[in-house]
């Protein structure tokens, strides 16, 4: 049986230790499709898994990596054949079963999406779960009536979700206001398409009243907590905020007043168990609506051997844009 290289996590006494190892293919989990992985990526959840935070992984040894893209090697499904380019995000791959931080992965056919025309596997992983989540958030705002040429707030702007959301929304003709605590990245955010950059502190104070001055036609929030509570008080009549993160906390202290008097919408975005048809549409939109030159500005590529060392940085909010992992390096 052929062996492949993988980043394997071991647990002993509550401590997680990552090691690059050669693994026999027979140890791969059950699934209809075996993929020769080319690229993966680093998400916040990957940082949690690598550091053993949140008990996302219950069985060790374990191969992390919630995303991957590559080429079908073998398939027992009529949906895919050897040579097909595919990608995977979510479905708790990299948590409850082995993931993409390896040269091979085996998964259910229903969990795979065919690589959209116009994207490479590297670009797909530059987008990854973060960009996919951003696209789902944009689609949700559109479904709830986001007008053309709207002013849209994006929080957590230097992260993967925020950066992709800025690039998408500005390309679609909206005026994007980016919120960040990292003023040194103002030029970077403007290069992605932000028309204005504000400091996160302007949204980080608990609202003093249930309704503030109407400002936002829509918002994509990757922060949560007080920031999300403040956004709800500032949405225009019948506007929506798509909530897709909790970097600022999971609690939400607010009132029903914005919902009753302004008819605003709080839209929850889940990218993990998102139905397959919605995934296919989101990836089609990403291939069409995401400017690849702006995507390139967000990318840092690293070898698999270095990824464990970056986990504390992404958990600490110190990673800008998207980290693409070359699993063969």
Q: Does 206 share its domain with 311?
A: no
Q: How many domains does the chain have?
A: 2
Q: What are the b/e assignments for 115-128, b being 16+ CB within 10 Å?
A: bbeebebebbbbbb
Q: Does 250 share its domain with 195?
A: yes
Q: Does 92 share its domain with 181?
A: no
Q: Write the pLDDT tens digit of every residue in 243-253.
A: 999 988 899 99
Tokens of 96: 């409850």
- Domain containing 95 — which CATH number? 3.90.180.10
Residue 37, pLDDT > 80, answer yes
Is residue 62 a part of any domain in this protein?
yes
- Domain containing 153 — which CATH number? 3.40.50.720
pTM listed for this prediction: 0.96
Is residue 213 a part of any domain in this protein?
yes
Is residue 101 a part of any domain in this protein?
yes
Tell me which of 268, 288, 315 is where a domain ends.
Answer: 268
Q: Under a CB-based contact definition with an 8 Å cutoff, are residues 203 and 227 in contact?
A: yes
Q: Does 135 share its domain with 70?
A: no
Q: Does 153 share its domain with 207?
A: yes
Residue 254, pLDDT > 90, answer yes
Q: Does 76 share its domain with 53?
A: yes
DSSP H helices, the chain, are: 44-51, 121-143, 160-171, 186-192, 225-234, 257-261, 276-289, 292-297, 307-315
Q: Does 104 share its domain with 14?
A: yes
Tokens of 197: 């950059």
Q: Does 133 share its domain with 262?
A: yes
Q: Does 65 share its domain with 174?
A: no
pLDDT at 328: 95
Q: Does 264 share its domain with 311?
A: no
Q: Does 90 share its domain with 215?
A: no
Q: Write the pLDDT tens digit of every residue in 272-323.
A: 999 999 999 999 999 999 999 999 999 999 999 999 999 999 988 889 999 9
Is residue 284 a part of any domain in this protein?
no
Q: Does 248 share its domain with 201?
A: yes
Residue 1, pLDDT > 90, answer no
Q: Write the pLDDT tens digit of every residue in 46-80.
A: 999 999 998 899 999 999 999 999 999 999 999 99
**Residue 125 to residue 281: CA distance in whole angstroms:** 17
Q: Which domain holds residue 90?
A: 3-115+298-326
């Amino acid at each position: 049986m052929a062996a492949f290289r993988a980043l394997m996590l071991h647990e002993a006494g509550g401590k997680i230790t990552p090691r690059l190892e050669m693994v026999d293919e027979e140890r791969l989990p059950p699934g209809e499709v075996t993929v020769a992985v080319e690229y993966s990526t680093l998400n916040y959840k990957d940082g949690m898994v690598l550091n053993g935070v949140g008990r996302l992984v219950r069985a060790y040894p374990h191969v992390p990596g919630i995303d991957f893209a590559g080429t079908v090697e073998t398939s027992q499904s009529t949906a895919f054949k050897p040579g097909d380019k595919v990608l995977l995000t979510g479905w708790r791959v990299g948590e409850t079963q082995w993931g993409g931080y390896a040269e091979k992965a085996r998964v259910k056919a229903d969990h795979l999406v065919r690589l959209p025309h116009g994207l490479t596997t590297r670009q797909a992983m530059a987008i990854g779960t973060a960009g996919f989540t951003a696209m789902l958030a944009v689609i949700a705002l559109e479904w709830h009536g986001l007008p053309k040429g709207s002013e849209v707030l994006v929080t957590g702007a230097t992260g993967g979700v925020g950066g992709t959301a800025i690039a998408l929304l500005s390309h679609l003709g909206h005026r994007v206001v980016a919120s960040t605590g990292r003023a040194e990245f103002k030029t970077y955010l403007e290069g992605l398409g932000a028309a204005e950059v504000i400091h996160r502190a302007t949204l980080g104070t608990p609202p003093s009243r249930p309704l503030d001055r109407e400002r936002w036609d829509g918002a994509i929030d990757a922060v949560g907590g007080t920031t999300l509570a403040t956004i709800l008080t500032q949405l225009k009549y019948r506007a929506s905020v798509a909530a897709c993160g909790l970097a600022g906390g999971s609690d939400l202290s607010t009132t029903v007043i914005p919902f009753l008097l302004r008819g605003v919408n709080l839209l929850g975005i889940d990218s993990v168990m998102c139905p397959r048809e919605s995934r296919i549409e989101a990836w089609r939109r990403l291939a069409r609506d995401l400017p690849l030159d702006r995507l390139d500005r967000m990318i840092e590529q690293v070898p698999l051997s270095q990824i464990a060392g970056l986990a504390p940085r992404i958990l600490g909010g110190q990673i800008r844009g998207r980290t693409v992992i070359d699993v063969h390096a």
